[in-house]
Amino acid sequence: MTSCPFEKIPQQEPGQIEEVADLTEKLQNKRYPKPERILRGVHPKSHGCVAANFEVNADIDQSLQVGLFSRPGAKYQAWVRFSNASATVGPDLVDSKNGSRGMALKVLDVAGDEAVLLDDGGARSQDFLMINTPAFAFVNLPDYLRLNQILLENNDDPSMFFAPLGTEVPGITEEDIERIKRSAAVVGGIQSKPVANPLGVQYFGAAPFLFGADRIMRFSAEPVGGAQPQVLPDDPSPNYLREALAAQMSETSDIVFDFKLQVRGSDEEGLGIEDATTVWDEEEFPFVNVATITVSAPQDVGTETVKEGCEQLVFTPWHSLESHRPLGRINRLRKQVYQTSADHRETP
């Protein structure tokens, strides 16, 4: 893979990426034995897909008029898919613990002369994949590889990944322990963060991306006016998130998210390009609104046509204009793995 001047690619990386892609396919086969339909490698459970409009703010600061955001006031059609990150389809709460929740945004037919890194079945789309916490849980490829090996050997139970924190493991270094502790802290943060309604919370790209030639961005979507307090139902049904989304979409008020960016110079310290557990302090580097996502209501998210369309959508951070190129090892890994997962689930 070609790299960008701000990235450092270790020699062994392509082989590790191959291994994760191979494990992704094996895990899909194991979870969905024939004749079951093969679903996404992760995020297989959808709460619903909605049609949306994505509009670049008319008053966007000139310094931010880059790539997709080049033309103030530009309007695009979009799709949004809300999901659980969990690798398997199950109840939304597992042992009363919250899981990671996803919001994937696909901005369709992006305008301009700029090339896309990967086209979307022949079309030009800009995808923004987000989760409801600002950091991704895994630092590097060997960790992600080890996690997937553990999932394959232990029927999708990841707890062994954290075993080195409680026991003596031969060959494990202080540095390994530090990294696993960081992952455990991110997972702990996810588990303590309730989501009662997928339309009411803030989502984050949780990784760095290019912003034009020499700046770096992180992105987020947040309900206009801020995230709403999240109070879980007393006795949540296994699909309470899908039910909450469908109920809100049956009402008549549109749902609007601000789409916002943190943008920093590529020569700054502490960007964490090769470590997706990094978060940029929002006090020091505040998010700036650059666009709005409007989901018009009512929409029936429960029809077979909408559900099937939702299954067939393919999101990847590499459906992207060159200006917003995904950066860092976790994003490089994602290129091949998303492709493998989508091909294996036989999307058109």
- Binding-site ranges for ligand HEM (CB under 6 A): 20, 24, 40-43, 81, 83, 102, 104, 129-131, 136, 144, 205-207, 276, 313-315, 330, 333-334, 337-338, 341-342, 345
Residue number with CB closer to ligand HEM (7 or 74): 7
Residue number with CB closer to ligand HEM (221 or 333): 333
Residue number with CB closer to ligand HEM (264 or 332): 332
Q: Per residue in 73-104, is it b (16+ CB within 10 Å) or e — as a string?
A: ebebebbbbbbbbbbbeeebbeeeebbbbbbb
The answer to whether the peptide bond before residue 14 is cis (omega within 30 degrees of 0) is no
Closest CB 138 distance from ligand HEM, rounded Å: 7
Length of the chain: 348
Residue number with CB closer to ligand HEM (60 or 293): 293
Closest CB 235 distance from ligand HEM, rounded Å: 28
Residue number with CB closer to ligand HEM (24 or 248): 24
Element (H, E) at 46: strand 45-56
Residue number with CB closer to ligand HEM (266 or 331): 331
Q: Cα–Cα distances in Å, from 134 out to 2, 57, 138, 194, 202?
A: 27, 23, 13, 15, 9
Closest CB 54 distance from ligand HEM, rounded Å: 16
Closest CB 97 distance from ligand HEM, rounded Å: 19
Task: Provide DSSP, 218-246.
Answer: EEEEEETT-PPP----SS--TTHHHHHHH
Element (H, E) at 150: helix 141-153
Q: Is the dihedral of CA 158, 164, 165, 168 positive or negative?
A: positive
Closest CB 297 distance from ligand HEM, rounded Å: 20
Distance CA 175, CA 67 (A): 38
Closest CB 337 distance from ligand HEM, rounded Å: 4
